[in-house]
């Protein structure tokens, strides 16, 4: 049995919104005791350095490898993409991220990377993955996704991802910003196509996320039974009421739009046009969803332009600037995210029985949200994966 004591930390209680000083006793990576206690003989002692200790940070919308590069002959450079994905996983650890949900990869690299992390072959956060996104022919995400037309083909596409080892499926309900010739507000996969794919996931106790920016596509996905809405530029009270009634989670990915918006000269004209057209509506929808009581989980869409894999925590800063209270910002990346990923029994809070997974900040994020950008230590299951 491995016994470790983490001492000298200011523990962030995300359930009650309190911070208190305490030590943490962990056995084989599981929290056994919090408070003041006699240190067991032979225990390894790890000093938090008086810093602020949050439950491990989640990022619920990443693309560990967004696009597989090709060589001069047009062949996919899968080895290059895999190396990049491995480095991106290290970036998550260095920035405090202990758990990610990858919602769209290439050539099933995300599945292989997850399996390598689980086998201890490479270092990275805990992961759930979705394989290839499922989109209509020529629709948003088609370059790396699985194109499907009609309910039967959508059903088969979902089965293919699950057979390959996906934990989730990702369906494309609308157009998007980055694909030329499609618009964020336009619906793409139909409600029947979405329902067929989502049913296949639910049959095996997997879950379904949807890229959905326009209201028609969002409502199609909600009626089809999707578990999370990604981006959600345009939503109304009907959407919010449905989501609350059915437990659908909103992953707004404010960072994806923000990083393009502040780098307008570095993207094609069609991209910045679409971003500018939806930027304020996106923030308004986020605020309205928050005030309506929709559950929100943190995701950044890392891998999109200028949206790095080591800036997960910046999403909390953007949320606060858009009107969310500080403790709720922290909850989006901890307990809310753990509930979305169905791992709240082991993650999301610091309490006995949970995994000893922590993100340690140099300052108090409740007083100054900028402190989340100062990660001092990342711990996963009692193992220090990064320390500054």
Length of the chain (residues): 388
Predicted local confidence at residue 184, as pLDDT = 77
Same domain (yes/no): 294, 353: no
How many Cβ atoms are within 10 Å of 352's Cβ, its own excluded? 12
Closest CA to 249 of 235, 270, 265: 235
- Summarize pLDDT for 296-327 with one digit per residue, the tens: 999 999 999 999 999 999 999 999 999 999 99
CATH number (domain holding residue 257): 3.20.20.140
Q: Tokens for 91?
A: 């970036």
Q: Are residues 115 and 202 in the same domain?
A: yes
Identify the residue whose tokens are 């943190």: 298
What DSSP state is assigned to residue 144?
T
**144/262 same-domain check:** yes
In a shared domain, residues 285 and 235: yes
202 and 176 in a single domain? The answer is yes
State the pLDDT at residue 69. 62
- What range does the domain containing 15 cover? 3-55+348-387
If asked whether residues 220 and 369 sit together in one domain, one would say no
Q: 264, 277 in Cβ contact below 8 A?
A: no
Same domain for 134 and 278? Answer: yes
Q: Which is nearest to 342 in space by CA: 297, 293, 384?
A: 297
Check whether residue 173 and residue 315 sit in a common domain: yes
Statement to judge: residues 132 and 164 lie in one domain: yes
CATH number of the domain encompassing residue 39: 2.30.40.10
- Over pLDDT 70: what percentage of the chain? 97
pLDDT of residue 222: 98
pLDDT at 209: 98
This prediction has a pTM of 0.95
Same domain, 331 and 370: no
Q: What contacts 93, CB < 8 A, 6 or more positions away? A: 123, 124, 125, 378, 380, 385, 386
Q: Which residues of the chain have pLDDT under 50?
A: none
359 and 324 share a domain? no
Looking at the structure of the chain, the number of domains it has is: 2
pLDDT tens by residue, 145-184: 999 999 999 999 999 999 999 999 999 999 988 787 778 7
Report in angstroms the alpha-carbon separations of 28 from 1, 25, 32, 40, 356. Answer: 6, 10, 10, 14, 9
Given this model, what pLDDT does residue 176 score?
A: 87
Residues 41 and 169 in one domain: no
State residue 70's pLDDT score: 59
Reported as a single tens digit per residue, the pLDDT across 222-239 is 999 999 999 999 999 999
């Amino acid at each position: 049995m491995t016994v470790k004591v983490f001492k000298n930390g200011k523990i962030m209680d995300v359930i009650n919104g309190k911070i208190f000083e305490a030590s943490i006793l962990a056995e084989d990576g599981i929290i056994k005791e919090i408070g003041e206690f006699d240190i067991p003989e032979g225990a390894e002692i790890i000093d938090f350095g008086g810093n602020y200790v949050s439950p491990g940070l989640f990022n619920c919308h990443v693309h560990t490898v967004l696009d597989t590069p090709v060589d001069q002959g047009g062949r996919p450079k899968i080895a290059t993409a895999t190396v990049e994905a491995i480095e991106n996983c290290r970036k998550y650890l260095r920035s405090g991220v202990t758990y990610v949900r990858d919602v769209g990869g290439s050539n099933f690299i995300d599945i292989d990377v997850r399996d390598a992390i689980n086998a201890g072959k490479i270092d990275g956060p805990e992961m759930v993955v979705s394989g290839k996104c499922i989109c209509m022919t020529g629709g948003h995400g088609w370059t790396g996704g699985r194109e499907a037309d009609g309910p039967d083909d959508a059903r088969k596409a979902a089965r293919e991802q699950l057979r390959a080892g996906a934990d989730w499926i990702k369906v494309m309900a609308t157009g998007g910003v980055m694909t030329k010739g499609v618009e964020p507000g336009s619906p793409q996969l139909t409600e029947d196509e979405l329902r067929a794919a989502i049913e296949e996931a639910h049959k095996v106790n997997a879950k379904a996320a949807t890229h959905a920016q326009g209201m028609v596509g969002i409502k199609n996905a909600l009626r089809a039974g999707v578990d999370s809405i990604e981006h959600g530029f345009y939503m109304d009270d009907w959407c919010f009421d449905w989501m609350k009634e059915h437990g659908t989670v909103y992953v707004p990915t404010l960072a994806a739009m923000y990083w393009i918006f502040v780098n307008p000269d570095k993207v094609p004209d069609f991209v910045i046009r679409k971003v500018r057209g939806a930027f304020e509506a996106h923030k308004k929808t986020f605020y309205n969803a928050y005030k309506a009581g929709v559950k929100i989980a943190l995701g950044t869409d890392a891998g999109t332009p200028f949206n790095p894999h080591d800036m997960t925590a910046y999403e909390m800063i953007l949320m606060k600037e858009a009107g969310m209270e500080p403790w709720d910002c922290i909850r989006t990346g901890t307990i809310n995210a753990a509930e979305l990923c169905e791992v709240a029994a082991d993650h999301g809070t610091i309490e006995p029985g949970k995994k000893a997974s922590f993100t340690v900040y140099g300052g108090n994020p409740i007083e100054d949200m900028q402190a989340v950008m100062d990660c001092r230590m990342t711990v996963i299951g009692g193992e220090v994966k990064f320390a500054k």
